[in-house]
Every structure is written in C-alpha cells, then in structure tokens.
Chains A and B, each alone.
Chain A
Amino acid sequence: MPVGTAVVLPDSEQIQNPGFPPYRPRVSDLDPKKARSNERRIALLFAASMVGSVFAIVAYIVFPINANDPGSIRLNNLFLGLGIALSLLGIGIAAVHWSKALMEGHDLSEERHMTRGSEATRASAAEVFHLGNKESGFTRRKLVRNTLIASLALWPLPGIIIFRDLGPADQDANDVLRHTMWKAGTRLTKDPNGVPIKASDVTLGSVFHVIPEGLDDREDALEQKAKAAVLLMRLKPEDLHVSKGRENWNYHGIVAYSKICTHVGCPVALYEQQTHHLLCPCHQSQFDITHEAEVIFGPAKRPLPQLPITVDSEGYLVARSDFHEPVGPSFWERDHT
C-alpha cells in the first residue's frame, strides 16, 4: 500500500484500540412491557398519518377556491398542506421510532478492503487492454488510429454550428444596442398609459417615468422599452451643472436620463427629490442628477446617458434626438462605431 511522503507516528508508539464497548441494553430490551408500549406508540403514529391523509382529502373538498377570494386560497393551501404534512410526518416519525426502539440495536462491523483491485485483477485488466490493442492493431496501425482521432474530433463541430441560429441571423448586436426608439420630435409619454407630457406638468420635485410615444404599437415593445425607458425630473436650472455642448439638452431645468443602469441594466428609478440622487436598487450605484448623472457611489462607472429634450409647438416635451451613446450596461464594442 503506497504511503506517500507523509510522516506519521510509528505504530509502536500508538495506544492499543480498546475494541468494542459492551452493548448497553435499551429499556425495550429489558422490559417487554416497555417494548409493547413502544409498539403501541408506533402504531398510533401510523394511525395519525392515516388521519392526515384523510384530512387532506377532506380539506381538498371542504376548502375550495372561490374566485376573487384570496382568503379561500389561503385556507386551501393551509389545510391541504397540514393534512399532507401530518400524513408524511406520521409515517416518518413512526418508522424512525420503530428502528430505534424495537429493531435489533447492536452495532455491526463490516470489513473494509482497499479500494484498488488486487494485483491479479489489475494484471488481468492490463491484459485486456493489451489484447485489445494487439487484436485491433490500435498502436501499430498509426494511420488508422490518427484518422480515427481526427474524425472523432471533427464530428461534434456540425452539432455546435447548428446552434448558430439561437441568435438572430440578420442583426448586428453593436448596431441594435446602439439605437433606441427616440428620435427628433418623439413625444415623451407617461409609463404605462402613454399620455404625452407637457413641460408645465413637470413641477419642481416631481419625477415622471417616461416611455416614447407609440411604444405600445410596436411588436417589440418590451425590447424597445428595455432601452428607451427614461426618467424625467425638474430641477432648478441653477442646480444643474451643464457641460459644454449639452446646453440645450434640458428644458428650463427639466432633464431626461436613461433609466437603464450603466452597470448591469436594472432600472435606476429611485429619485430623491432633495438630494437629486438616483439610486439603483439592485447594486446600489448612485448617480448625481445635478452633475449630469455622474456616479457617486457603487459599481457603475459611466453616467446615465442623457436624452436631449425640448418642447414642440403644443408645449409637449419631445426628444431632440436619440441618445448620443448606447444606453445600458457597458459592452466591449460600445465605443467602436
């Protein structure tokens, strides 16, 4: 038996194993009366299980589900469940109690053998491989062997290739992720009812959850919404720190930012009207709306993209253009156009 390089205490130093301790008899072993009472107890538990099963069937009928009454579902769930639980626990506890109190209680010992096969067995196993090789010429006929290996390596490839159409064939991910439904003149409307928003509706301290006009008519409404969802709020114009080139992206302090987190894409929807912080409830990234949604805490790196907005002739808020960068989580080719 291989020992390896471990250094262990030599056998002579070790203390002798004292052998099995004497059997400690149980009450049921000593007193037939106790054994009988245990027997009764076990039978009682099995009987409790039967009661549970019947109770569950009765509960199924007696506690039906009534339409528009969650209370009836609660009762159905509770009593059916408790009945089933009683029927299960009765059997389980009875069986275990039986095994502990009444079944033969002596510990038994079984011999253990080394896991590896005996030398003779190993030799015959090696012989099998040897014969296999000899009779097939596996190592001798190199050409056959090598072509076999090569063909085996190639055959799964078609099986991998056919999975290509799991993804759409005609879409360039980079292109699709780059564009949203917003374009110049698209009205900002309320989520979920699609009512357009006037600039005057957006009072200081309020926040609007916004979708582009016409979203619901789209076949791919959810995919579009996953990119186009926007949060709209009004700050005092002097609280906004507007960078060069974005001067006309807000409308008298009304700003619109993508609601999709630049970390992994949860909706960043928690707006604090006094601190002007936005918080993502998934990973706690925080964005400062007064500083163009720059990250002030958490794992996100990039600010939320801003949607340039203005009003149309009727006073409704509209987008000036699409976002100027891809919304949502970063991806490898996002700045590669």
Chain B
Amino acid sequence: MATSVPTSSRRKTGRRSPLASVALLLIGLLATGGAYAAFTTSASASTPASEQAQVSEGKKLFEANCATCHGLGAVGTAGVAPSLVGVGPAAVDFQVGTGRMPMAASGPQAEQKPTQFTNTQIAALAAYVGSLAPGPAIPSADSLKGGNVSTGAELFRVNCAMCHNVAGAGGALTEGKYAPPLTGVTAKHVYEAMVTGPQNMPVFNNLNITPKDKAAIVAYLQYLDSHPSPGGLDLGNLGPVSEGLFVWIFALGAIVVVTIWLTAKPN
C-alpha cells in the first residue's frame, strides 16, 4: 500500500471535480521522490488472508456507522460528507481515533470526542478505506521515534505555531473554526494530521516536511508534554492575556485583601 502523499482534494466538502483525479494522477507519478520514505512508513505487516478478513470487517462497520453520510462505497454525499476514496488509512485512524468521526452535530468543524470504536475496529475501518484507493498509511511506531527536538521546535515554529500556538495551546481560525491544542495528542495522531490535513489544516506532504522532520516535530511536542514549564504553572500557555488576568485577579486581588486587613480597626 501506498504512498503517504496525500490527496486531500477528495476530502473537500462533497465536491468532486475531474481535476482532482488529474491531480491525484500527477501526484502519484511524481511521488517517486518521496516513495522510498513512504514505503518505510507502511504499517501493514499482516498476511493477505487476515488482511482480507480485516477489510471485510471494516466494510461492515463502515456500512453500519459511516455510510449514512459518506455513502456506500465511501463515495461521499454531495453537500453532506466528502468521498473517502483515496484519503488513506491514516485519515481514518486520525478522524475515528480522536473521536472526531462519527461527527456529533454539524458545526464549524468536527470536535474531538471520546472514541466510539475499539482499536481493532478502527484498524478494520482504516484497512477498508485503504483498500478503496491508495492513500497515506498509518505511520509505523519506528517512524515516530528519534526526532531531533531542536529541529522539531524550529519547524514547529515555522509551520505550525501560527495556528496551534508556539506551545501547542491552540488558537482561533476564521468563522468559529479553531486549531486544537496539541497537548496530550498521541505522536501517531500528530503525524497523521500532518500527512492527511484534517478539516482546514493544510497537508504537509513528505516533500514539504520530510518523515524525519515530522518525527522531529513529534519529538518536540512530546518534549513539551513531558517537561512542565520550568517557571511553574503555565496558565494554559496563552501568553500575556492569561498573565494579565492573573496579575489583576490574583496578585492585585490578594494585595487589595491585604490593604483591607491593614487598615481595618483591630479588635
């Protein structure tokens, strides 16, 4: 299976254009440069027979849980849900694994929720969608390891911080959409988000950010998660806004209480 070059055009809301397939073709042809890296990230280690069983299990799950919106055969429903042909197992693993799919209600964007499926079920769904057309694969555990923290931090600042905030605290986008906080997100899901570009997040293909650099970004986020701020509480890493509120409410508040005690007539 497949290259991790994304084909996000398919995930555009319901609209399918002939050019999307042209683009896909183009990408497929040109992906040779990234193919080596892509193949190394392939996660499929199972035998053909069990793979087949997994796909048919996934198909059943899909028809029961996803087909209402995404249509039988995952071809999408115009104006409701995009086609999933070619989004790859990584997209399924991310969307279902973070609870974003199945979507609860229509809103500016799909919210993260408790996952509704077991890991085996998610794997089956991913295998099914992956069987429809080539798409980005679920990264192997090895490909998530060994990144350089400082390279990752630099790449994170350039490519991610403008939406997700330098400390991964998240931020606002237009019209009620937002970039979610990245604290506590698993390495695999971070990686999958980069290769598949969920919702309005751009796709970072392997020619833009190489797999090694992606691992570096993952390493930086894990560094942030595992090292609490040296300065103490981080106030949600929201920067000067939370610092300003803190100083008015808690610091100045405490001091005002002191002034009242200071000037109250003693017993």
Contacts and interface: CB of A to CB of B under 8 A. Distances in A.
Partners in one complex: yes
Interface of A: 24, 26-28, 70-71, 73-74, 77-78, 96, 100-101, 105, 190-192, 197-198, 200-209, 233, 236-238, 267, 269-275, 277, 279, 281, 286, 297
B82 to A, nearest CB: 10
Given A27-B267, A236-B17, A269-B162, A205 B228 contact: no
A205 B174 contact: no
A207 B202 contact: yes
Contact of B203 (A105, A191, A192, A203): A203
Given A201-B205, A203-B27, A275 B174 contact: yes
B19 A205 contact: no
B46 interface: no
A264 to B, nearest CB: 16
Contacts of A233: 202
Nearest to A205: B8
B266 A101 contact: yes
Nearest to B154: A192
A236 B19 contact: yes
Question: Main SS of the interface on chain B?
Answer: loop
B229 interface: yes
Given A192-B154, A238-B17, A271-B202, A203 B171 contact: no
B177 interface: yes
Interface stretch (B69-77, B92-100, B180-188, B193-201): B193-201
6 contacts: A192-B154, A201-B205, A201-B207, A205-B197, A206-B208, A272-B174
B205 A274 contact: no
A27 B158 CA distance: 66
B9 A77 contact: no
B190 to A, nearest CB: 17
B204 interface: yes
A206 B204 contact: yes
Contacts of A204: 7-9, 20, 23, 203
Interface in B1-38: 5-9, 12-13, 17, 19-20, 23, 26-27, 30, 33
Given A101-B266, A236-B17, A200 B232 contact: no
A105 B267 CA distance: 11
Nearest to A266: B162
Given A270-B162, A271-B202, A277-B174, 12 more contacts: A24-B265, A71-B230, A200-B26, A203-B23, A204-B8, A205-B8, A205-B9, A206-B202, A206-B205, A238-B17, A267-B162, A274-B12
B262 A273 contact: no
A82 to B, nearest CB: 11
Contacts of A202: 208
Contacts of A208: 208
A53 to B, nearest CB: 21
A200 B206 CA distance: 12
B48 interface: no
